[in-house]
Structure 1
Amino acid sequence: MRKNIPVLLPLLFIMIMAGCTKKVSLPEIQTGCIAKFEIATAYGNIPAIINDDSRQITLQLPYYLYDLKFVDPEIRLAEGATITPASGERVDLSATPVQYTVKTRNGTVETYTLMREILQLGTQLNELSTAEDTFTSTMLRNIAINGSHLIPDTNSVRVILTNTAGQQFTFTPREVSQETVILYIYDDNTIDSGLYHVQVKNLNDTVSLQYPIRINYPEPYLNLSYRKDTVKQGDVLTITGTSIRGLEAFAIYSNTGRTSDIAAYYHLEIVSSSLSELKLKIPDDLPAGQYPSSGSILRTRQQFNGGAYISKNYSQWVLVVEPK
Structure 2
Amino acid sequence: MKPNFLICALLALISFASCKKNMSLPEQPNSKILEFKVPVSDGMISGAIDETDKTITVYIPFFYQLDVIDPVIRLSEGAKLSEEILPVDVLNDKATYTVTGADKSTTTYKLIIKMQQMGPLVVSEVSTETTTASWGIGFYMLNIRGNFNTNDANKVRVFLVDANEKEAEMTHVTGYGNATVVPQMGTEGKIYTLGYIGVPQTLDPGRYKVRVKVQSLTTDLKYPVTLNYVLPQIDYESITAKQGDTFVIHTTGPVFHNFKTFSVPVNGVKVEFPIVSYTRTHATIRVPDTMTPGTYYPYLLFDGFPQITANWPLTIIAK
TM-score, normalised via structure 1 length: 0.53
- Corresponding residue for residue 116 of structure 1: 113
CA contact (8 A) 1:99 1:114 kept: no
The DSSP-based 3-state class of the residue aligned with 1:125 is coil
CA contact (8 A) 1:248 1:303 kept: yes
Match status 1:18 vs 2:12: yes
- Corresponding residue for residue 307 of structure 1: 305
Match status 1:94 vs 2:92: no
Shift of 1:54: 1.1
Shift of 1:19: 2.1
Shift of 1:60: 1.7
In structure 2, C-alpha distance between the alignment counterparts of 1:58 and 1:225, rounded to whole Å: 57
- Corresponding residue for residue 162 of structure 1: 161
> Quick one: which amino acid aligns to residue 128 of structure 1?
V
- Corresponding residue for residue 207 of structure 1: 219
Shift of 1:26: 3.8
Shift of 1:117: 1.4
CA contact (8 A) 2:99 2:106 kept: no
Match status 1:127 vs 2:118: no
CA contact (8 A) 1:101 1:112 kept: no
The DSSP-based 3-state class of the residue aligned with 2:301 is strand
Number of aligned residue pairs = 269
Gaps of 5+ in 2: 80-84, 90-94, 174-178, 184-191
Shift of 1:132: 1.4
The alpha-carbon distance between structure 1 residues 141 and 85, as it changes in their structure 2 partners (threshold 3 A), is farther
* Among candidates 226, 233, 236, match of residue 219 of structure 1: 233
CA contact (8 A) 2:208 2:227 kept: yes
- Corresponding residue for residue 245 of structure 1: 256
The alpha-carbon distance between structure 1 residues 269 and 126, as it changes in their structure 2 partners (threshold 3 A), is farther
In structure 2, C-alpha distance between the alignment counterparts of 1:85 and 1:64, rounded to whole Å: 37
The alpha-carbon distance between structure 1 residues 62 and 278, as it changes in their structure 2 partners (threshold 3 A), is same
Deviation string 1:177-212 (CA, Å, 9 cap, x unpaired) is 47344464498x633566543322322232223321
The alpha-carbon distance between structure 1 residues 92 and 65, as it changes in their structure 2 partners (threshold 3 A), is farther
- Taking only the aligned residue pairs, the percentage that are identical comes to 18
Shift of 1:109: 9.1
Name which one, 1 or 2, has greater alpha-carbon Rg.
1
Matches within 5 A, 1:174-189: 174=173, 175=179, 177=181, 179-182=192-195, 184-185=197-198
CA contact (8 A) 2:160 2:167 kept: yes
Shift of 1:41: 5.5
CA contact (8 A) 1:84 1:101 kept: no
The alpha-carbon distance between structure 1 residues 208 and 308, as it changes in their structure 2 partners (threshold 3 A), is farther
The DSSP-based 3-state class of the residue aligned with 2:256 is helix
CA contact (8 A) 1:100 1:111 kept: yes
CA contact (8 A) 2:239 2:313 kept: yes
Shift of 1:253: 9.6
CA contact (8 A) 2:241 2:315 kept: yes
Deviation string 1:58-80 (CA, Å, 9 cap, x unpaired) is 1222122352634568x9xxxxx
- Corresponding residue for residue 142 of structure 2: 143
> Quick one: which amino acid aligns to residue 162 of structure 1?
V
CA contact (8 A) 2:49 2:55 kept: yes
CA contact (8 A) 1:158 1:200 kept: yes
The alpha-carbon distance between structure 1 residues 254 and 111, as it changes in their structure 2 partners (threshold 3 A), is closer
In structure 2, C-alpha distance between the alignment counterparts of 1:316 and 1:35, rounded to whole Å: 68
The alpha-carbon distance between structure 1 residues 248 and 40, as it changes in their structure 2 partners (threshold 3 A), is closer
The DSSP-based 3-state class of the residue aligned with 2:58 is strand
Match status 1:57 vs 2:56: yes
